[in-house]
Structure 1
């Protein structure tokens, strides 16, 4: 059952995930929303070409613009979707903001795996959200925001525990990595080099390399190129733009250079990737 509450320009929605609720292609309707997806063990989900076959309950934190697809035949859980106007508190608390750790990090698509007790707590909060949305009580908007923030705070704590963020130095490193990730997200079309981002961060390229290496096996150059290639894949699969047009859209005026970059990164040409992906779905 899908429910949507709108408070002026602020929007928050909830829908159950099961074989009856998540119709094929329906997730595309929520693409521009920030999403928190709770899935039970045994569920299957794909987020931006990465597949997860869950062996335990988990929460996924998906930014607006990311593509995700849930195998509704085997999946069950819940989906929260909301816009930045409903929840964005970066001025007060960077870690749990709409651009916080769970939505901007350089390590992976943010997923938090849940032990049985942790899952029970999250399911309880989701049930409260679902119940609250069915009422017409005063203070509903603020209550829903408080419940949403509970999920984000608890999940941020679990993510930090899993990544051994235990002291002030490690917290500063994670905050630095988050800032780097945000800059890549904002500028990957126009800024393609490590030196570009080092300049934005007021450090040397070598210092950027050293700080990123503390928490990632990827180099800063890998992270920048991964983001460019991810967008190229999205455009290849979800638009009819030509390879030349995609390269130009991503800041490469020389189509041959863009094709070499994509091929070296993925071990297949853009044309072959498009054909193979479309034939598989």
Structure 2
């Protein structure tokens, strides 16, 4: 077996969960290959790359030329020269164009492949925004250099003893993800929101099904509601309550589009006491009923994607 994200699939409604599988003979935990190598791997293992896929590993995509269209958690992106996309475990990814139409590189890795210090500093186990990074030209030169070293090392594994090869790959990948985390503003978020927001964000990720009340998170974490509201506004640009509701809404959209659960069942999974409460919550935030959203989202697969990459600023 020489594939990574194209085997061991589990169907759940319309979503495919993908487990990480390393190339035989290579140290487990990381894979690096050209975009053009992905379609034949998928074909050999019967995976539709244009279906909704939910990897349980990290995927870095960088495009060098051409165009790659894809969506991450219902946001469509057009990736061209110099654009990087970091898809994190649990996010739903769907390609809208042929992967081989773009020249680029993909890096797949598991969170536990990196050392604890890197995981903490880059905050890779926390939910990511799922939006591209524009690193065209000189501002992305170092990241491209590190990626080139990472790929050359991956492709020449036989030139080093296994333990040295694994350590080199781990260090190169650590440099890359640390620089990308910085470019994405993850450290700016830490500075503006501090430890309080980091803890709140993690608590919401693990507890949004149980409670949507800011007061409950404040009591759990030992902060005041005012503190959580202030740090969330500084770090995420919205109030704490909105932050919680946005996470619930994202999960509702995932379940509506990628499973066959009824709106009532989706509401139950998300902790709503009755179907009418969920329907009211969903409509207030989207302007649609759950059924209307499901119909529109599933019928929108062939529509042109929306460009989400901001223009260069002087």
TM class, shorter-length: 0.7 to 0.9
CA separation of 1:209 and 1:235: change in aligned 2, threshold 3 A: same
Is the Cα contact below 8 Å between 2:111 and 2:119 reproduced in 1? no
Moved more, 22-31 or 118-127: 22-31
Alpha-carbon offset, residue 58 of structure 1: 2.4
Alpha-carbon offset, residue 147 of structure 1: 1.0
Match of 1:267 among 284, 287, 311: 287
TM-score by length of 2: 0.75
Is the Cα contact below 8 Å between 1:44 and 1:75 reproduced in 2? no
Alpha-carbon offset, residue 65 of structure 1: 0.8
| Larger RCO: 1 or 2 (CA < 8 Å, sep 6+) | 2
1:154 aligns with 2:179: yes
Tell me which residue corresponds to 1:86.
113
Match of 2:61 among 8, 30, 37: 37
| Aligned mates of 1:119, 1:21 — CA distance in 2 | 27
TM-score by length of 1: 0.82
Is the Cα contact below 8 Å between 2:54 and 2:90 reproduced in 1? no
Match of 2:73 among 48, 62, 65: 48
Structure 2, gaps ≥5 residues long: 5-21, 43-47, 302-314
Is the Cα contact below 8 Å between 1:19 and 1:75 reproduced in 2? no
Is the Cα contact below 8 Å between 2:79 and 2:132 reproduced in 1? no
Residue 121 of structure 1 aligns to a residue whose secondary structure is: helix
Residue 188 of structure 2 aligns to a residue whose secondary structure is: coil
Alpha-carbon offset, residue 140 of structure 1: 1.3
Match of 1:120 among 98, 120, 141: 141
Alpha-carbon offset, residue 227 of structure 1: 0.7
| Aligned mates of 1:121, 1:253 — CA distance in 2 | 51
| Aligned mates of 2:275, 2:260 — CA distance in 1 | 16
CA RMSD of aligned residues (A): 3.1
Equivalenced residues, count? 270
Alpha-carbon offset, residue 26 of structure 1: 6.5
Is the Cα contact below 8 Å between 1:192 and 1:225 reproduced in 2? yes
Is the Cα contact below 8 Å between 1:125 and 1:151 reproduced in 2? yes
